[in-house]
Chain A
Amino acid sequence: MLARSSVRGVLTMMIGALQSSVREHSRGASARGFRRSVLFSSAAATVFVGIIGCASITFGAAIVGRTRHVGLNPQPAMELDVLKAKYRRPAFIPFPRENPYTPEKASLGKRLFFDTRLSLSSSQSCASCHSPGFSWGDGLSVGVGHGMVKLGRRSPSIVNTAWATTFMWDGRWESLEEQALDPIQSAGELNMPIERLMDRLASVAGYKLLFAAAFPDEGMNPKTLADAIATYERTVVSDHAPFDAWIEGAEGAIPEQAKRGFVIFNTKGRCASCHEGWSFTNDGFHDIGIPSDDPGRARQLPQITKMNHAFKTPGLREIVRRGPYMHNGSIATLEEVVEHYDQGGIDRPSRSDLIGPLGLTSQEKVDLVAFLSTLTSNAAATTVPVLPR
Chain B
Amino acid sequence: MPRLALVALSIAGVALGALSAVALVADHTVHQQGRKFSFQSAIIKKGTPLTFVNDDTVPHNVASTTKGNEFDLGSQPPGASTDVTFTEAGEVQVICAIHPRMRMMVSVRD
A31 to B80, CA, bound (A): 13
Q: Tell me the residues in window 307-341 of chain A with beta carbons closer than 8 Å to chain B beta carbons.
A: 307
Whether A304 sits at the interface, judged by CB under 8 Å, is: yes
- Residues on B facing A (Cβ under 8 Å): 16, 27, 29, 35, 49, 53, 55, 57-59, 61, 63-65, 68-88, 92, 97-101
Contact A61–B88 (Cβ < 8 Å) = yes
CB < 8 Å neighbour of A353 from B16, B70, B72, B75: B75
Q: Please give, as numbers and ranges, the residues of chain A lying within 8 Å of B27 by CB-CB distance.
A: 46
Q: Mark A323-367, 1 if CB is under 8 A from B, else 0.
A: 000000000000000000000000000001110000000000000
Q: Please give, as numbers and ranges, the residues of chain B lying within 8 Å of A27 by CB-CB distance.
A: 77
**Besides A46-B29, A48-B81, A61-B86, 7 new A-B residue pairs in contact (Cβ under 8 A), listed by A number:** A30-B75, A62-B71, A67-B76, A283-B101, A303-B70, A304-B65, A306-B75
Q: Mark A280-309, 1 if CB is under 8 A from B, else 0.
A: 001111100000000001000101111100
Contact A63–B75 (Cβ < 8 Å) = no
Contact A64–B65 (Cβ < 8 Å) = no
Whether A120 sits at the interface, judged by CB under 8 Å, is: no
Contact A64–B84 (Cβ < 8 Å) = yes
Q: Please give, as numbers and ranges, the residues of chain B lying within 8 Å of A282 by CB-CB distance.
A: 35, 99, 101
Prevailing SS type, chain B contact patch: loop
Of all chain B residues, the one with the shortest Cβ separation from A32 is B80
- Residues on A facing B (Cβ under 8 Å): 19, 22-23, 26-27, 29-31, 34, 39-40, 45-46, 48, 53, 57-72, 75, 165-166, 171, 273-274, 276, 282-286, 297, 301, 303-307, 352-354
Contact A283–B100 (Cβ < 8 Å) = yes
User: Given known contacts A62-B86, A354-B59, is B81 in contact with A68 (CB within 8 Å)?
Assistant: yes
- Interface contacts (Cβ under 8 Å), in number, total 150
A53 to B77, CA, bound (A): 13
Q: Please give, as numbers and ranges, the residues of chain A lying within 8 Å of B88 by CB-CB distance.
A: 61
User: Given known contacts A65-B82, A282-B99, is B71 in contact with A60 (CB within 8 Å)?
Assistant: yes
User: Given known contacts A34-B79, A165-B100, A283-B100, is B69 in contact with A60 (CB within 8 Å)?
Assistant: yes
